[in-house]
Amino acid sequence: MRLTRFWIIQIFIIASLFAILIGSYLFSFGWFATKPTLVKQAAPSTAPVSVTQTEQATLAPPATCGTAGKIPSLSDIADSLGSHDAQRQTSCFSFLQAESMAGDKGAVLWLGRAYHNGWGVAKNLEEATNHYQQAATADDAATRDSAKQWLQQLQQEQPQL
């Protein structure tokens, strides 16, 4: 009889852990998140509609380096900036400019790389140097060290800087 209780408790524990695992999996993919409801659109009017520049800015998709609504990874940024799609490069460059203005030194480092390689913007080694020097003052050791390495590489490529 004791052996049976032991196995029942073991099965209960395993089933509970399995339920937690499945639940966390479903939550991570947003299956339990509130879904937007579809709104029935009214019939289109025949009157011309004028859109101001402010409204156009709100209608344009936000600048990003990866999938919209997702925080871009380093590989997303590298893929976006290094792609041959000019719109994707420009969008990522705008995203990095906004992030750098918000104080993100990692974005400043990526802006330096964009100027260094001409990704999404005209190649400008002076701007690249300025951005690398700004990123070299970061609190994050990895960003600071990477900025110093890129600055050193840039100076080796162009000794007059």
One domain, residues 72 and 134: yes
Report the pLDDT value the prediction gives residue 61, as an integer from 0 to 100: 53
- Structural domain including 25 reads 1-29
Position 13, amino acid: I
Same domain for 74 and 24 = no
Distance CA 125, CA 116 (A): 5
pLDDT at 17: 93
Burial pattern 70-104, b for ≥16 Cβ within 10 A else e, equals eebeeebbbebbeeeeeebbebbbebbbebbeeeb
pLDDT in tens, the chain (161 residues): 566 888 889 999 999 999 888 888 777 766 655 555 444 444 544 545 454 544 444 445 556 676 666 677 777 787 778 777 788 888 888 888 888 888 888 888 888 888 888 887 888 888 888 988 988 888 888 888 988 898 888 888 876 54
DSSP code at position 46: S
> In this structure, is residue 41 part of a structural domain?
no
> Does 140 fall in a domain?
yes
The answer to whether residues 16 and 77 belong to one domain is no
- Check whether residue 19 and residue 73 sit in a common domain: no
pLDDT score, position 1: 57
For the beta carbon of residue 152, count every other beta carbon within 10 angstroms: 11
Residue 9 and residue 85 share a domain? no
Same domain, 88 and 142: yes
Tell me how many domains the chain contains. 2
pLDDT on residue 11:
92
